[in-house]
Structure formats: structure tokens, C-alpha cells
Amino acid sequence: MDKLSVMQAFRRIVDRGSFTRAAEDLGVSPALLSREIKLLEESLGSTLLIRTTRAMSLTDAGRVYYDEAAGILDAVNGVETRIRAGAGAVRGHLKVNASSSFGQTVIAPMLPAFLETHPDIRLSLSLDDRVVDMVEGGFDVSIRIRAAMPDSALLARKLGTMRQRIYAAPAYLDRAGTPETPADIAPHRVIGFLLADHLATWSLRNGTDSVSLDLDPPIRVGNSLVLRDLLISGMGIGTLPGFVSDSPVARGDLVRVLPDWELPAPEIFALTASRLGMDAKVTAFLTALRRALAA
């Protein structure tokens, strides 16, 4: 027995003063309503309605049940109304998870304008280079950078594509020489990214040409910003995503090595837990993030 449905039916019967009129309102047969009320009375062990051929009246128990049921139904309707009214409002606690490098170089710079535009948002930004369980962590959205997302109960929305290229400091190249072909990488000190699929194997592409380099990086780090700083200091050659390399390249701290070659470009995904759609605060955040990535 669906208690809320039965409560609604009982309330409608009393309000309309008739099984027939209540049945018409609810789109069911009077016989079905009669059976439901009989089952309700049997479950309660009490008579709620006294019916004759000419009239219907509430018993004392029926009046108590009607008053309490009306309060419960009004409370449920009130909650639903407030939820619907707030569904389009950009407010509430937004919990975001991302990698340290992406969070510091892409998300952090966009936050002042985003929070100024949406002052009713409370933000928790968790930066972690490990892949976390976003449902267990209670995150509304998690930013992941992958070649592809595996099938799961999470919903992945593609935000953009990330360039992945080879860089070194001018001073390092002046000292160690500038590679002219992919094969020239082998004698160089390679700094590897521990969390990347290409830690020990670089699959390079140049148009339709491709080559695979098997490497054994003597220096391996698990953070792109640390890798960037090591490259700037002249420690070797390594790969960086575009959102990390753009600024030091613009300043002249790094230069691109083998400019005609690059690694496969992974995708930037936003993962959310619900397949029923996003609430307004998540939608607003992802809209701002897409703008930041486009800029």
C-alpha cells in the first residue's frame, strides 16, 4: 500500500464528500477507491468513514486521520515547491575536485569572477592528483583528464581537449643540444610524469607519421607544476599540458622541443554523479570553466 497515495485519496474523498466525485478527480474508479479505503481501515484496525446510501461522515478516528494526513501532505507539497523553486537558483554548497595543476592554473584564476557573480555559493575546492571516489567524497563535480572515460554510473561531460607537448629550458638545450628528430631524445635526461599513461613510452605524432619512444626517466614526479619547475631550472626534457606550459613559454622560460611532434591529446571531462541533470550551481560552474578553457 502506497501510504501517501492513500492519504491523498482519503483527503480527496472527505473534501469532495463523495467517492464518485473523488474518483473522477483522481481518474480512477469508485470501486478502486472503496477497496483502498477498506484496506486502509483494516491496516489501522479502525473505521474512518461511515457511509450510507445518502450520506458519508467521519468517525472520531477518521477526523484524526484526516487532520494528520492533511498536515503530512501539505508538508510534502511544501518541500517539493521549495525544491522546484530553488532548482534554478545558483546557490548552495558546491564541492569540486580536480588535480593540483589544473586546479591551480585553470580553476583558481577563474574563481574570483565566478564567486563575485554568484555570491550565494559556498565553495569547497579539493585538489588531489589521485583519482578520488567523488560519490564517497560528496563532490558535485570532478574534473578528470583522460584519453577516454570508462563506463560507470557517473556522467562525463567533455569540456575540451588538452595539448600535450615536449618542452625544455633554453639553457638546458644550449648545454645538452637540441633534438632534431624523436630518436635524438634518447641521450637526454627525461623528466617523467608519474601519473601519465606516457611515463615510460612517448607515442609521438607528426601528421600521419608516428613513432614510439621507450624511455626510462631518471627523474619522476607526480605533479605537473613540479615537473614544470624542474624543466625551467634546466634539469632536462619533459612533457607538459598546455594549461601548464603556456605561461612559461610566453615568458621564454621554456621552449618547445620537436615542434612538429606531439603526444596524443587527452580530453578534459567534468564528472557528475547524477544522470538526471545538473543543478544550477554545477551548470554555472561548468559554464565558467568552459569560458576559462576557451580563453
Distances (CA, A) of 38 to 60, 102, 202: 17, 62, 74
Residue 115 maps to a domain: yes
SS3 category, 132: coil
The CA angle 87-88-92, to the nearest 5 degrees, is: 70
Better pLDDT: 274 or 171: 171
Tens of pLDDT, residues 160-179: 899 999 999 999 999 999 99
SS3 category, 194: coil
Domain count, the chain: 3
Let me know whether 271 and 155 are in one domain. Answer: yes
Average pLDDT over residues 235-239: 96
Among 86, 108, 125, identify where a domain stops. Answer: 86
Would you state the cell numbers that stand for residue 16, as one nine-digit string? 469532495
Let me know whether 77 and 99 are in one domain. Answer: no
Would you state the cell numbers that stand for residue 129, as one nine-digit string? 592528483
Residue 279 maps to a domain: yes
Mean confidence (pLDDT) of the chain:
88
Among 71, 86, 101, identify where a domain stops. Answer: 86
Domain span at 184: 164-256
* CATH number for the domain harbouring residue 21: 1.10.10.10
Ramachandran region, residue 138 (left: φ > 0; alpha: ψ -120 to 50; beta: rest) = left
Let me know whether 21 and 144 are in one domain. Answer: no
Q: Given this model, what pLDDT does residue 118 score?
A: 93
Residue 262 maps to a domain: no
Let me know whether 236 and 283 are in one domain. Answer: no
Let me know whether 192 and 61 are in one domain. Answer: no
For residues 13 and 56, what is the distance between their CA atoms, to the nearest angstrom? 10
For residues 252 and 256, what is the distance between their CA atoms, to the nearest angstrom? 10
pTM metric for this prediction: 0.66
**H or E element: which one contains 152?**
none
Residue 22 maps to a domain: yes
Let me know whether 243 and 206 are in one domain. Answer: yes
Among 86, 106, 138, identify where a domain stops. Answer: 86
